[in-house]
Amino acid sequence: MMTIHNYINGQNHPPATGEYLDNVNPATGAVYGKIPDSGQTDVNLAVEAAQAAFPVWSAMPLEQRHDILRKISDGILARLDVLAEAESLDSGKTIAAARSVDIPRAALNFKFFATALLHFASESHAMPGAISYTLRQPLGVVGGISPWNLPLYLFTWKIAPALAAGNCVVGKPSEVTPHTAFLLGEICTEAGLPPGVLNMVHGLGPRAGEAIVRHPDVKAISFTGSTRAGAEIARIAAPMFKKLSLELGGKNPNLIFADCDYDRMLETTLGSSFNNQGQICLCGSRIYVERSIYARFKKDFVENVRAMRVGDPADPKSRLGAVVSKMHFEKVLSYIELAKQEGGSVLCGGHAVQMAGRLAGGYYIAPTVIEGLSLECRTNQEEIFGPVVTIQPFDSDDEALALANGVPYGLSATLWTNDLKRTQRFARELQAGILWVNCWLLRDLRTPFGGVKQSGVGREGGWEAMRFFTETKNVTLAE
Ligand code: NAD
């Protein structure tokens, strides 16, 4: 049994509550460790440590801050195998995916923002007889709260820019996947990060998470997770006038036109539907196909999905591992039942996969394709966040746009076409923060990342993140 600790002031701390939560391996369903069920006292300690560290960290010469963040990046890569195994153990994702995507990206987050801090600049405005310049100062102590689907990847996507901008951080990783964040503490200490600059408190959202949000000395909250929790955080933080960045749920459309490069589209659409068991906020869960190629797409897609292997996350031959938890497993299966009740036809999958031996208690779901559902039904309106997609034909550009935009979410959209005019129109009219044309999940970390409507408020990435984690102050000097 492995015990995870809070990381406060550069040291491992048991929770002040003395209470722990089970940490479950979703591949087997077995409890393999325990994690702190932290509360207000732990958060208070973490905030105090962060406040004490702030004067030194915020005043540190940029090159020195850069060097420490680069060492953290190197430390992550040096432990690639250990971290990938830990990520898989916690989340059920394949080790191969954690090794090739999650952990390298966590290292890159630190490397990217280490470099960004050296180049981050503010504006000046000259006028006759005076000059105005803008200071961009770190906020102080900031909070970062992250979800379970890309645990270290998304946690570091918040922490790295916050630290780069000179803030001290109190972070809370998901209670479902705390392992890699725990290992990050050791890496930060080794890299020479001064104690208190980064603190990590483990526990439940409504307890440890809310304590961070409510703390009056936490100046900003960067949150990634469900729309429901985002709304709750906004309700608490808005009257306290905290800066808020909310990256929330999605129900992303894939729009496939007959003039696309078919083979590339097909291969990418298999990934955008089922990578990480469909548990990526950017997965396209509503697939709309121009009617003239609908029959061909349906046949090819379903044939390929049937061939996708669900299996042991440690087996390199597994294309899908387990979904993240029993609760999520039951939620996804309940949506498949709902889809049937709503009149959908399950073309493939539609059921749990029963493994043998050690994996018999794990949470596996066959990749599922459903057709015959209207836009209005709950299956097409609500986020399922699992290996389930719906497919549907359309007849015109107008209809495709109406289908894509007809949900409360607006995170990302994917468009497959070689028609430039159509691309320009869709880029203007799609209600989404991110649009991929003839690709998916092609990420440049300098670009703004985030959603519209119920998918969130604010943008992460590049200068957007550095601006979020700083406060501007305008100074005007007269001659
Ligand atoms: P969740 O909202 O249940 O939890 C996310 C984090 O918030 C966890 O650390 C949790 O403990 C904490 N939390 C929950 N309630 C809280 C509260 N009241 N106060 C403070 N903290 C609280 O989400 P999840 O189930 O972990 O993750 C899945 C969701 O995340 C999906 O909706 C998915 O679309 C979304 N997501 C969005 C993005 C994006 O960039 N937009 C990226 C990944 C995941």
| pLDDT reported for residue 366 | 98
Ligand 1 atom nearest the C-alpha of 451 is 41
| pLDDT reported for residue 246 | 98
In degrees, rounded to 5, the angle at the alpha carbon of residue 440 between the alpha carbons of residues 77 and 454 is 100
Query: Which of 168, 260, 281, 283 is flagged as catalytic?
Result: 281
- Dist. CA 230 → ligand 1 center (Å): 7
Cβ 249 under 6 angstroms from ligand 1 = yes
Q: In whole angstroms, what is the distance from residue 465 CA to residue 467 CA?
A: 5
- Dist. CA 213 → ligand 1 center (Å): 14
**pLDDT of 183-234, one tens digit each?**
999 999 999 999 999 999 999 999 999 999 999 999 999 999 999 999 999 9
| pLDDT reported for residue 128 | 97
Ligand 1 atom nearest the C-alpha of 232 is 18
Ligand 1 atom nearest the C-alpha of 247 is 41
* Confidence at 42, pLDDT banded by 50, 70, 90: very high
| pLDDT reported for residue 282 | 97
Q: Mean pLDDT of all residues in the chain?
A: 98
- Dist. CA 174 → ligand 1 center (Å): 8
Q: What is the largest CA-CA distance in the chain?
A: 80
Query: 3-state secondary structure string, the chain?
Result: CEECCEEECCEEECCCCCCEEEEEECCCCEEEEEEECCCHHHHHHHHHHHHHHHHHHHHCCHHHHHHHHHHHHHHHHHCHHHHHHHHHHHHCCCHHHHHHHHHHHHHHHHHHHHHHHHHCCCCEEEECCEEEEEEEEECCEEEEECCCCCHHHHHHHHHHHHHHCCCEEEEECCCCCCHHHHHHHHHHHHHCCCCCCEEECCCCHHHHHHHHHHCCCEEEEEEECCHHHHHHHHHHHHHHCCEEEEECCCCEEEEECCCCCHHHHHHHHHHHHHHHHHCCCCCEEEEEEEHHHHHHHHHHHHHHHHCCCECCCCCCCCCECCCCCHHHHHHHHHHHHHHHHCCCEEEECCCECCCCHHHCCCCCECCEEEECCCCCCHHHHCCCCCCEEEEEEECCHHHHHHHHHCCCEECEEEEECCCHHHHHHHHHHCCCCEEEECCCCCCCCCCCECCEECCEECCECHHHHHHHCEEEEEEEEEC
| pLDDT reported for residue 241 | 97
Q: By the 8 A CB rule, do 142 and 218 touch?
A: yes
**pLDDT of 100-148, one tens digit each?**
999 999 999 999 999 999 999 999 999 999 999 999 999 999 999 999 9
Catalytic, 168? Answer no
Cβ 172 under 6 angstroms from ligand 1 = yes
Cβ 383 under 6 angstroms from ligand 1 = yes
| pLDDT reported for residue 438 | 98
Q: In whole angstroms, what is the distance from residue 33 CA to residue 212 CA?
A: 24
Percent of the chain with pLDDT over 70: 100
Cβ 245 under 6 angstroms from ligand 1 = no
* Confidence at 443, pLDDT banded by 50, 70, 90: very high
Strand pairing class (168-172; 198-200): parallel
Strand pairing class (141-145; 168-172): parallel
| pLDDT reported for residue 72 | 99
Contacts of residue 321, defined as CB under 8 A and 6 or more positions apart, other chains included, come to: 27, 88, 92, 93, 94, 97, 277, 310, 311, 312, 313, 364
Q: Which two tokens stand for residue 347?
A: 């073309």
- Dist. CA 189 → ligand 1 center (Å): 27
Catalytic, 247? Answer yes
Cβ 281 under 6 angstroms from ligand 1 = yes
Core vs surface per residue 217-228: b (16+ CB within 10 A) or e: ebbbbbbbbbbe
Ligand 1 atom nearest the C-alpha of 174 is 9
**pLDDT of 251-269, one tens digit each?**
999 999 999 999 999 999 9
Ligand 1 atom nearest the C-alpha of 456 is 41
- Dist. CA 161 → ligand 1 center (Å): 19
Q: In whole angstroms, what is the distance from residue 347 CA to residue 155 CA?
A: 36
Cβ 451 under 6 angstroms from ligand 1 = yes
* Confidence at 433, pLDDT banded by 50, 70, 90: very high
Q: With a threshold of 0.85, does the pTM exceed it?
A: yes
Query: Which of 247, 290, 371, 464 is flagged as catalytic?
Result: 247
Contacts of residue 138, defined as CB under 8 A and 6 or more positions apart, other chains included, come to: 54, 58, 165, 166, 167, 469, 470, 471
| pLDDT reported for residue 161 | 98
User: Which of 155, 158, 174 for mutating ligand 1's site (highest number of atoms within 8 Å of CB)?
Assistant: 174
Nearest CA, atom 42, ligand 1: 281
| pLDDT reported for residue 396 | 98
Give the closest residue to 109 by CA, choosing from 31, 48, 30, 187.
187
Contacts of residue 156, defined as CB under 8 A and 6 or more positions apart, other chains included, come to: 76, 106, 109, 110, 184
Cβ 210 under 6 angstroms from ligand 1 = yes
Cβ 148 under 6 angstroms from ligand 1 = yes
**pLDDT of 268-316, one tens digit each?**
999 999 999 999 999 999 999 999 999 999 999 999 999 999 999 999 9
- Dist. CA 123 → ligand 1 center (Å): 35
- Dist. CA 361 → ligand 1 center (Å): 25
Percent of the chain with pLDDT over 90: 100
| pLDDT reported for residue 84 | 98
Cβ 145 under 6 angstroms from ligand 1 = yes
**pLDDT of 362-416, one tens digit each?**
999 999 999 999 999 999 999 999 999 999 999 999 999 999 999 999 999 999 9
Strand order in the sheet with 470-478: 124-127, 130-138, 470-478
Ligand 1 atom nearest the C-alpha of 175 is 11
User: Which of 35, 42, 90, 145 for mutating ligand 1's site (highest number of atoms within 8 Å of CB)?
Assistant: 145
Domains of the chain: 2-248+455-478 (3.40.605.10), 252-444 (3.40.309.10)
